[in-house]
Chains A and B, each alone.
Chain A
Amino acid sequence: MSASILIAQNLSKVVPSTEGELTILHDLDFELAQGDSLAIVGSSGSGKSTLLGLLAGLDQPSGGDVVLAGHALSGLNEDARARVRAEHVGFVFQSFQLLDSLTAMENVMLPMELEGHRDARMRAETLLTRVNLGHRLTHYPRQLSGGEQQRVAIARAFAADPKILFADEPTGNLDTTTGARISDLLFDLNREHGTTLVLVTHDERLAHRCNRLIRLESGRLITPEA
């Protein structure tokens, strides 16, 4: 097995609620090697998105730890985790999360501009052309369809050459045909860039395109890793 890019160790999340403490995730353990793809599936409220947030360092676990690209996240404060994200992580969201005030091109340029890339514009154009949006460079998100917006988001996710890509229901807001095209694109790019992919989905077909799958129910792993 190649070196692990992502390790979850006894990962748990407890939140306060009106009826006392609520455990959302119970002692999860798994590892993911560089270049793997992992699908996290489960019904609504099973803890999928919470797990994604913890794995990507967007939130802190109540117990256990996440090791992302060699960094143990629980020992890091939010700003240090941000640095890890900037260096290693890309995101694709269900609701696209494009900035309304930026054009498609500028949205893709953003992560590269944060890194100070000089060729951000050229590279953004290449990526957008790769996702078949070469003719929509100067369009604002509100002028694009859902599928197009998600393609911009995918282009942005790959812009900073992340080691690992987290995708939260990437096809959740799209119709079946568009969803299928988007998932094709996602897997193609993943392969081209050699990126590790972690995706949360309801879509069993999408999930089964990943080479590994974990199923959550009430915050517990119920399917041993395939």
Chain B
Amino acid sequence: MTRLPLTRLVKLASRQLRRELRAGELRVLFFALLIAVASSCAIGYFTARLNEAMTVRATEFLGGDLALRGTSPAHQTQIDTGLAIGLKHARTIEFSSVIAGEQAIQLSSIKAVDGAYPLRGQLKSATEPQGIETVGGLPAPGEAWVEARLLPALDLKVGDRIEVGRKTLQITRILTYEPDRAGDFYSLTPRILMNLTDLAATDVIQPGSRVRYRDLWSGEPESIARYRTRLLSTLDPSQRIEDAHSGNRQLGSALDRARRYLGLASLAAVLLAGVAVAMSANRFAVRRFDASALLRCLGLSRREALLLYTMQLAMLGLAASLLGAFLGWLAQFLLFYLMADLLPAVLPSGGIFPALAGMGTGLIALAGFALPPLAALGRVPPLRVLRSDLLPVPPRSWIVYGMALLALGLIMWRLSLDLKLTLALLGGGLVATLLLGTLLLLGLNGLRRLLASAPLAWRLGLGQLLRHPLAAAGQALAFGLILFAMALIVLLRSELLDRWQDQLPPDSPNYFALNILPAERDTFTARVAALSPNAKPLYPIVQGRLVTINGEPARDVVERESRGDRATRRDLSLTWTDTLPTGNVITAGTWWSTKTPDDLPGVSVEAQLAESLKVGVGDHLSFNIAGRILETRVTSLRTVDWNTFQPNFFMIFEPGSFTHVPVTYLTSFYIPPGNDRAMVALARSFPATTLLPIDSILGQLRSILDQVTIAVEFVLLFVLAAGLTVLFAGLQSTLDERVRQGALLRALGSERLLLIRTRRVEFALLGATSGVLAALGCELVTALLYRLVFDLSWQPHLGLLVLPLAGALLVTGAGLLGTRRALTVSPLRILREG
């Protein structure tokens, strides 16, 4: 039981805290915490809001937050459930139909939409081909909006009439952008958009017609999630749910990486703040040894003294957290304000969670990093008032590091890095710290031997470090961590940006050509080669369906709603080639090098599909191709880079596998801007071939990647700024003793120059050592991260060699600035102040 009533202790703690804050004692700790919470909050808000904004953009690819797709209309119960949850609903119906103009006919892809469509994103259209785009609107009943490429095919212009089945529609606008076209860019035929109310009158949809129904839904994320769950149990075999993540592979992977990057950047900010809090909390504790001894002398029990300081720290933490959360919120606000031109006008608010999470992060960091040194305060022997050499028994080091690790682990878990990664990073970090710390101690001890013959400035400078090798190693590790966090974020940023740049180089194919006839293959290739600086190879295409796996019906083998299930329900585009396409990597088996034992033709299967189909190398697959069964044996599995805009295939056959089957060819190529006429000419020369422009999809993808890139750059700047601040604050907390020593040297008659040299040697060595540690740590951690999180290939980063120099410069600069008092203020004054 405490002797002092708790209320009195609380009062005393708050009074002491106010006094100490006023006296400037707690500035470093307060600011360290402030930075921790502000940066964590700012990044949290920034990430949350941007994430939501990006998801909103991504949902444009669907035209809604969730789409229920099927070959028959959604059941009324499915619709009612969505409406009952309070979601908004829109319906589109797509089908192919031959459109008759006055002179010609053209197979077209018709989409009938209701008045609510689209729920996300907007249509764009123009009054004439190449005209100025306007945003929004819908074809009214009796109207059709058509893609520009339909007009030359039917020799039509805006204002003319077309017949869709039995209904005549007037072309009123040119459709230039359809938000949900992106997920479907293999569509073969030009698009006609019409109003759903006209559909019945066309009379084209008959039982057995191939029609694609899409019911689009939008609403609060929780409601969407709830609806999704309910839908799952009511799905027909022909129905499929799509959302922002399943809609588009290219975008999905870019967004996922961006999210992970932002999460990691938050972690870096927390790590930085943690280092700052740890260093300044240690200083807080050390500077209170005397005060604690005095309080014990004045009659406070051990528990009361501990409670008093814990309460002070908690109050400080709470105050800094509140202010930090507010500053963080302001900072992200400023970021969004700066980026206003690039982002949607109305951004989601982000809610209160990032603020709470940021505050929680700060308080966890404070508890993890500050409580262990604080615990020492409770153990200060009261006899210290008579003998100042008496120090408290230090806490067991496993408690100190255990607390810090636990705090970091909690924060990483909060940032939703998965358990495997959290453990890998913590474990890797621990091993790296122990290893590097030991090396550092050995190095410092080795240095001691060389020191005897060194010049005075070196002896004094290094002497400072060598006198307390553990403290010096601790400081080098702390600064190393700061540099490491900064370097890691810089490295990942370049890797991600390069990766996105690679994904969408300026000459990314912006046209797909389908249905190229074998007879026209060579002339088509020659014509495209003349126009395109980047044309992909032509792949032969045969439509076929997977029917059996090792003799069993394929649909019995796969799980419902799995990727494999979907692949067995539709015709697959099958191809053959003797060279492995770029972006494909064999993960099992070999590429046509050996004949299969039973002389069956070989097939190479995309690895993820193979997993879903539960097939491996050596398994038998049979395909139904134009009514004939083809037996094959799996000879290899491949991973495919879906991020490339080139034809990619689930199944690639050995050349010569198919005979006597009708074949067309498929390719993709890049056409520089300004070749519209040439493309029209190309389309006219090859009437059977479908040319599909995907510029709008590329544009949409590029704008999202640009947005993400800016986010990444801003976060990088934020982490760097936080890093520098923490470095300075952290160094500040180690300077008391150095300032005092400097004053002593001056009192003993040392020249200022010697003092400056001494400091330079000391700080440069400390900084360079930190740089080396940071570089080694960075290599270790990136090797882990690239493999486990970012799916990037790892190679040594020579650029990290600059870290020791950067560390030396930064620490020296900050150190000289921090210790200038030893040079400018009267040494007597400093020594008197103790």
Q: Mark A116-151, 1 if CB is under 8 A from B, else 0.
A: 100000000000000000000000101000000000
Asked if A180 is at the interface (CB within 8 A of a chain B CB), the reply is no
Q: Is the CB–CB distance between B833 and A113 below 8 Å?
A: no
CA distance A103 to B3 in the complex (A): 26
Q: Is the CB–CB distance between A58 and B25 below 8 Å?
A: no
What is the interface size of chain B, counting residues whose CB is below 8 A from a CB of the partner? 34
CA distance A99 to B758 in the complex (A): 32
Q: Is the CB–CB distance between A58 and B12 below 8 Å?
A: no
Q: Is the CB–CB distance between A52 and B386 below 8 Å?
A: yes
- Interface residue from A78, A100, A101, A102 paired with B302 (Cβ < 8 Å): A78
Q: Mark A85-117, 1 if CB is under 8 A from B, else 0.
A: 111010101010101111100100011011010
CA distance A93 to B832 in the complex (A): 17
Q: Is the CB–CB distance between B296 and A101 below 8 Å?
A: no
Q: Is the CB–CB distance between A82 and B833 below 8 Å?
A: no
- Interface residue from B12, B25, B832 paired with A100 (Cβ < 8 Å): B25
- Interface residue from A82, A95, A99, A168 paired with B299 (Cβ < 8 Å): A82
Asked if B678 is at the interface (CB within 8 A of a chain A CB), the reply is no
| Interface members, chain A 159-174 (any B CB < 8 Å) | 160, 168
CA distance A218 to B20 in the complex (A): 43
- Residues on the B chain within 8 Å of A99, using CB: 290-291, 294
Asked if B5 is at the interface (CB within 8 A of a chain A CB), the reply is yes
CA distance A106 to B832 in the complex (A): 21
Asked if B629 is at the interface (CB within 8 A of a chain A CB), the reply is no
Asked if A49 is at the interface (CB within 8 A of a chain B CB), the reply is yes
- Residues on the B chain within 8 Å of A87, using CB: 299
Q: Is the CB–CB distance between A102 and B23 below 8 Å?
A: yes
Q: Which residue of A lies closest to B384 (CB)?
A: A58
Q: Which residue of B lies closest to A113 (CB)?
A: B12
Q: Is the CB–CB distance between A106 and B298 below 8 Å?
A: no
- Interface residue from B3, B19, B290 paired with A106 (Cβ < 8 Å): B19
Q: Which residue of B lies closest to A106 (CB)?
A: B19
| Interface members, chain B 1-38 (any A CB < 8 Å) | 3-5, 8, 11-12, 15-16, 19-20, 23, 25
- Which label, helix, strand, loop or mixed, suits the secondary structure of the B interface? helix
CB distance from B524 to the nearest CB of A (A): 84
CA distance A85 to B295 in the complex (A): 11
CA distance A16 to B16 in the complex (A): 38
Q: Is the CB–CB distance between B298 and A114 below 8 Å?
A: yes
- Residues on the B chain within 8 Å of A175, using CB: none
- Residues on the B chain within 8 Å of A86, using CB: 3, 298-300
CA distance A93 to B385 in the complex (A): 7
What is the interface size of chain A, counting residues whose CB is below 8 A from a CB of the partner? 34
Asked if A193 is at the interface (CB within 8 A of a chain B CB), the reply is no
CA distance A4 to B701 in the complex (A): 91
Q: Is the CB–CB distance between B23 and A140 below 8 Å?
A: yes
Q: Is the CB–CB distance between B19 and A102 below 8 Å?
A: yes
CB distance from B527 to the nearest CB of A (A): 83
CA distance A93 to B386 in the complex (A): 7
Q: Is the CB–CB distance between A79 and B303 below 8 Å?
A: yes
- Residues on the B chain within 8 Å of A52, using CB: 386
CA distance A160 to B295 in the complex (A): 13
Q: Is the CB–CB distance between A58 and B302 below 8 Å?
A: no
Q: Is the CB–CB distance between A97 and B25 below 8 Å?
A: no
Asked if A194 is at the interface (CB within 8 A of a chain B CB), the reply is no
CB distance from A3 to the nearest CB of B (A): 22
Q: Is the CB–CB distance between B297 and A58 below 8 Å?
A: yes
Q: Is the CB–CB distance between B386 and A114 below 8 Å?
A: no
Q: Is the CB–CB distance between A114 and B4 below 8 Å?
A: yes
CB distance from B293 to the nearest CB of A (A): 8
Asked if B643 is at the interface (CB within 8 A of a chain A CB), the reply is no
Shortest beta-carbon contacts, A-B, top 3: A86-B299, A79-B301, A101-B23
Could you jot down 18 A-B contacts, CB within 8 Å? A52-B386, A56-B297, A78-B302, A79-B303, A82-B296, A82-B299, A83-B3, A83-B299, A84-B299, A85-B382, A86-B298, A89-B299, A91-B385, A95-B388, A102-B19, A113-B12, A114-B8, A116-B5
| Residues on B facing A (Cβ under 8 Å) | 3-5, 8, 11-12, 15-16, 19-20, 23, 25, 290-291, 293-303, 381-383, 385-388, 832-833
